Amino acid sequence: MRVPQKLSIGDEIRVIAPSRSAKLVKVRQTKTILEKLGFKISFGQHIFECDLQQSASIEHRVADIHEAFRDPQVKAILTALGGYNCNEILPYLDYQMIAENPKILCGFSDITALATAITKKCGFITYSGPHFSSFRMEQGQEYQLSYFQKCLMGNAPFPLTASKVWSDDTWYIDQAKRHFEEASWKVYSEGEASGQLYGGNLCTLNLLQGTPYMPDLANCILFLEDDELVNPAIFARDLTSLLQSTTQIKGMAIGRFQRASDMTEEQLHFILDKHPRLQTIPVFYDVDVGHTQPILTFPIGGNIYMNTKERIMQITKF
C-alpha cells in the first residue's frame, strides 16, 4: 500500500464537500484557524451548493474531487463535513487519474465511503480524521491536532493514547461552555495483534458490501464507530453484517458512542458476546474515533499494532 506525500507547513489544503454542503460550516473562521497553523487553504468550486438534501449534484462533487487531485499545488484534501450520500459519487470517479496523483484525503463519518473506495481502487492510504469543520472547535483541539499532525505530517511510528476527556457537543459549533467528561479506553477482550487497518463509520462501510469499492477485510484490524442515529439494535445488526461478510479479523477498536444512541456498556457487551470470535482477539471500546470529540486520525489501509492487555496501540505504517 502506497503512502501519500506528507503535509508540510506552507502547503495548500483543498476543501471539498463530497457529502453535505459546506454552506452548513462557518468557513471563514475555520479557514483562519488553519491559516494560523501555517497552511494555505483553497476551496472546491461547488462546495457551497445546497440542494433539497443539503448537497451538490453528483457531477459537481465529482468535478471538485477530480480538480483537487489533478492540481499539483494541492498537497492534501480535507472534507467539509459528513452526511448521507457520499457513496453516490463512487461510480463516476476517475480512479486511474487519482491513482496517478496520490495525496492525503482526510475526513470521517460518511467520508468513509470515499476514502475506503480510493484506498481499494487506487492502492494508497487515505485517512479517517478531522473534517475541515472539525478545526472550528477550540476546546479539545490540542489532542485532535496532535494526532492529525503525527499521522499526516510525521514519518516515525507513533503510539495512540486515550484522551483524558471527551465531549458530545457538536464539533463544528464551538459552545462557550462545552461539556467534558472523563475519558478512558476500555477492554472487552485481551490479546495482541498486528495487521492492516480498515474502518470508519460502520453503517457507511456496510454500504460498500457487494460493490467494487469494498476492500478485503481478511486478517485486518477494524476501527468502527457510529453516530447518534444508531441504537443498540441497529448497531448489532450492522456489526453482524460486516463480520459475516469477511473471514476472521485480527482485532477491533470501537469508537465511543454518542449519548443519543442509548448504548450502554451492558448493551455493548451483550452485542459483542454474540460473536465468539471477538472473545479470542483483542477488542477495545470507547476509543477516540467517530462522532464524539476529540478524535484520532488513523490511516485507512495502513498498519497498526494493538495489545489490549497492556492497553497499547501503535500506528506503524501511515
Cis peptide, bond prior to residue 294, ω within 30 of zero? yes
Catalytic one of 46, 60, 131, 291: 291
Integer Cα distance of 89 and 76 in angstroms: 20
Q: Torsion-angle region of residue 201: left (phi > 0), alpha (psi -120 to 50) or beta?
A: beta
Q: What is the rounded distance in angstroms from the CA atom of residue 180 to the CA atom of residue 156? A: 31
Alpha helices in 199-310 (DSSP H): 202-206, 232-244, 265-272
Fill in the amino acid letter for 212.
Answer: P
Whole-angstrom Cα distance, residue 20 to residue 259?
23
291 carries an active-site annotation: yes
Query: Can you name the residues that pair with 298 across neighbouring β-strands?
Result: 128
Residue in this structure with the C-alpha cell 441497529, named with its chain if needed: 234
Catalytic-residue membership of 225: yes
- Among candidate residues 19, 21, 109, 163, the one labeled active-site is 109
**Residues tagged active-site:** 109, 225, 291
